[in-house]
Structure 1
Amino acid sequence: MRSIESLNKKITRCKKCPRLAAYIRDVAKNKVRRFRDQNYYGKPLSGFGDVNAELLIVGLAPAAHGGNRTGRMFTGDSSGDWVAKVMHKNGFASIPTSQTKDDGLVLNNAYITAAVRCAPPQNKPSKEEMKQCFGFLEQERNILKNIKIVLCLGRIAYDAACKLYGIKPEKFGHNKLFKYDNIMILTSYHPSKQNTQTGRLTWAQWSAVFAKAKKIIK
């Protein structure tokens, strides 16, 4: 891929995974009540951010009624609120909220992507679906020339990053930093409601990860 724009167009058109393609279309058609008056995006999502970024953030996949609705990763749901707020606090985002694709959010020295580009049922993509999406992550890595640190949100994102850089996965945990010859990998629990509302991931723990990433880069 010559540019991030051409890659993103390719991602948007992808229909390699029949189960996921059908699911995101169904979610977009049969909307939840709170968003019944909105038009869902209902397509695979590309990454977004600063193409000269040193920080790459890898999530699991778009949320069915978040990114799959709004057309941008970590946008329009509680996970997106946590991501935008902490990135703004640490100078990686222009505003502390992420509500719509055209809300003015601009990322600085950071790029956000995911291991899987379509919202999967129950947030559980199959191994084959993850394999089908992996090529997009490889192409992003080849375009984003300045990445120094990869922040992985959750175990699936961590496994994808290790595969991306040919690294043997180590024991996953929150706020762990792994240093290699060509890249650093930082891990965090995913800011899903399952983690944030149960106390598994507190705001202090979440904030500490981004503070660490900022300190490493600067």
Structure 2
Amino acid sequence: MELPEDVAPKARTVAELDDALTHCRACPRLVEWREEAARVKRASFADWDYWARPVTGFGPADARVLVVGLAPAAHGGNRTGRMFTGDRSGDVLVRALHDVGLASQATSVTRDDGLELLGVRFTAPVHCAPPANKPTPQERDTCRPWLERELRLMRPTLGSVVVLGAFGWQALLPALAAAGWSVPRPRPVFGHGVRVDLAPAASAPAALRALPVFGCYHVSQQNTFTGRLTPAMLRGVLAEAAHAAGLPTG
């Protein structure tokens, strides 16, 4: 079995990377869980043919803003085959993107619902649904080469990153360092509304630009139902990231 560290660096485009990623079986626990969720199903989705494979990033390969989550939900992205699609987290995020002019519609229901992200791409540090939404450190690290390669391939256009939650923040910083940006020591601490501007590393290509990275509470039900993350708070971070990347907002 080929590992992400062997396969991901060979991808010459984001499309090639996405295609290779969907065949990954590197983490036995995650493979078992994503396929078990597809067999057992949730009663309300009993008639669904679950995707039950790694879920790729979604959005244009030349996006200016990258939104980094945690991992697909067992009955969301793992069911629909598209990140932030078919669950409440996706509903909240896509509505906020639509509100600020970065998505073509306010809903994200199925892979063929017509949603287009406008200058924005979704990705995650772990591409398979984990039990209890908690990947292990080993699973995070095994999956990291996909994220590193995605960042490298997006370097010509990438203007900012929004990280949803502390897990994504901690997983992203090493990937950014591997992709050519200088991450300070000690590493910046996650917080909602935090902005860190990463300079290109000394070894990076001369054309590489500084990259603003924004922290935002995750769009989980726990955060949105309790008011820890409100729609206004989410819109504020997304609009700031869009402005930093030179994208117009509505």
Deviation at 1:18, TM superposition (A): 0.1
In the alignment, the residues of structure 2 paired with residue 44 and residue 199 of structure 1 have an alpha-carbon distance, to the nearest angstrom, of: 31
Correspondence for 2:105: 95
Equivalent residue in structure 1 for 2:195, among 167, 174, 177:
177
Deviation at 1:180, TM superposition (A): 2.0
The aligned amino acid for 1:216 is A
In the alignment, the residues of structure 1 paired with residue 101 and residue 228 of structure 2 have an alpha-carbon distance, to the nearest angstrom, of: 25
Equivalent residue in structure 1 for 2:58, among 36, 39, 48:
48
Deviation at 1:202, TM superposition (A): 1.3
Please say if residues 41 and 71 of structure 1, whose CA atoms lie closer than 8 Å, have aligned partners that are also in contact.
Answer: yes
Answer with 113-122 or 46-55: which moved more: 46-55
In the alignment, the residues of structure 2 paired with residue 163 and residue 114 of structure 1 have an alpha-carbon distance, to the nearest angstrom, of: 14
Correspondence for 1:191: 219
Q: Are 2:174 and 1:163 aligned?
A: yes
SS at match of 1:57: strand
Correspondence for 2:4: none
RMSD over aligned CA atoms reads 1.0
Segments of 5+ residues of structure 2 without an aligned counterpart are 1-10, 178-182, 200-209
Deviation at 1:215, TM superposition (A): 2.1
In the alignment, the residues of structure 2 paired with residue 173 and residue 150 of structure 1 have an alpha-carbon distance, to the nearest angstrom, of: 14
Deviation at 1:63, TM superposition (A): 0.5
Equivalent residue in structure 2 for 1:154, among 165, 173, 182:
165
The aligned amino acid for 1:125 is P
In the alignment, the residues of structure 1 paired with residue 220 and residue 32 of structure 2 have an alpha-carbon distance, to the nearest angstrom, of: 24
Q: Are 2:146 and 1:118 aligned?
A: no
Correspondence for 1:37: 47
Equivalent residue in structure 2 for 1:63, among 62, 70, 73:
73
In the alignment, the residues of structure 1 paired with residue 198 and residue 152 of structure 2 have an alpha-carbon distance, to the nearest angstrom, of: 18
Deviation at 1:214, TM superposition (A): 2.2
Please say if residues 49 and 110 of structure 1, whose CA atoms lie closer than 8 Å, have aligned partners that are also in contact.
Answer: yes
SS at match of 1:105: coil
TM-score (norm 1): 0.97
In the alignment, the residues of structure 1 paired with residue 192 and residue 127 of structure 2 have an alpha-carbon distance, to the nearest angstrom, of: 24
SS at match of 1:21: helix
Q: Are 2:20 and 1:10 aligned?
A: yes
Deviation at 1:100, TM superposition (A): 0.3
In the alignment, the residues of structure 2 paired with residue 53 and residue 32 of structure 1 have an alpha-carbon distance, to the nearest angstrom, of: 34
TM-score (norm 2): 0.85
Please say if residues 55 and 148 of structure 1, whose CA atoms lie closer than 8 Å, have aligned partners that are also in contact.
Answer: yes
SS at match of 1:49: coil
In the alignment, the residues of structure 1 paired with residue 158 and residue 212 of structure 2 have an alpha-carbon distance, to the nearest angstrom, of: 9
Please say if residues 150 and 161 of structure 1, whose CA atoms lie closer than 8 Å, have aligned partners that are also in contact.
Answer: no
Larger Rg: 2
The aligned amino acid for 2:28 is P
The aligned amino acid for 1:176 is V
Between the aligned residues of both structures, percent identity stands at 42
Correspondence for 2:234: 206
Answer with 207-216 or 186-195: which moved more: 207-216
Answer with 12-21 or 140-149: which moved more: 140-149
SS at match of 2:106: coil
Where do 4+ consecutive residues of structure 1 move more than 6 Å?
none
Please say if residues 151 and 176 of structure 2, whose CA atoms lie closer than 8 Å, have aligned partners that are also in contact.
Answer: no
SS at match of 2:213: strand
Please say if residues 151 and 188 of structure 1, whose CA atoms lie closer than 8 Å, have aligned partners that are also in contact.
Answer: yes
Deviation at 1:10, TM superposition (A): 1.1
Q: Deviations over 1:132-175 (max 9, x none)?
A: 11000011112112111110001111112211222142221101
